[in-house]
């Protein structure tokens, strides 16, 4: 588990989702871009919460290891989303030309 401090809030999250969020934040900052990510976390009162993180160039987020009696919240969908987005930034899809594309009927639009 990791203790995350963000926008004057303190939350507990699983290691993998925090590591992915940090990597994604760095990549988005390099592109001067931003995104939001919903994650399951444990609040300061011990209750499970859904937190939305705005991640971008101005993100100030600190994470530190933590011992906790709580099980890690399930963030499989957030982790999958983050991995997909990180992959798209690191290896963007190739653009394809119009060679071989039938433009008949599109002459007025091209």
Average pLDDT over residues 83-92: 95
56 CB-near residues (< 8 Å, 6+ apart):
25, 28, 29, 33, 34, 35
Structure tokens at 51: 């937190």
Across the chain, what does the average pLDDT equal? 90
- pLDDT for residue 98 is more than 50: yes
Angle between helices 76-90 and 15-30 (to 10 degrees): 30
Q: What CA–CA distance (Å, rounded) separates 28 from 89?
A: 8
Per the CB < 8 A criterion, the answer to whether 11 and 43 are in contact is: yes
pTM of model > 0.85:
no
Q: What is the pLDDT of residue 30?
A: 94
Q: What CA–CA distance (Å, rounded) separates 93 from 22?
A: 23
Average pLDDT over residues 49-72: 93
Q: What is the pLDDT of residue 26?
A: 95
Q: Which of 11-15, 49-53, 105-109 has the lowest mean pLDDT?
A: 105-109
- Residue ranges per structural domain of the chain: 2-67
Q: What is the pLDDT of residue 7?
A: 86
- pLDDT for residue 67 is more than 70: yes
Per the CB < 8 A criterion, the answer to whether 82 and 18 are in contact is: no
């Amino acid at each position: 588990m990791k203790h995350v401090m963000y926008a004057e809030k303190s939350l507990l999250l699983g290691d993998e989702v925090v590591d992915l969020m940090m990597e994604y934040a760095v990549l988005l900052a390099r592109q001067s871009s931003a995104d939001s990510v919903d994650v399951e976390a444990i609040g300061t009162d011990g209750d499970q919460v859904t937190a939305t993180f705005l991640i971008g160039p101005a993100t100030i987020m600190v994470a530190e290891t933590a011992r906790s009696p709580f099980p890690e919240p399930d963030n499989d969908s957030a982790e999958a989303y983050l991995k997909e987005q990180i992959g798209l930034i690191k290896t963007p899809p190739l653009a394809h030309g119009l060679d071989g594309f039938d433009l008949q009927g599109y002459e007025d639009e091209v």
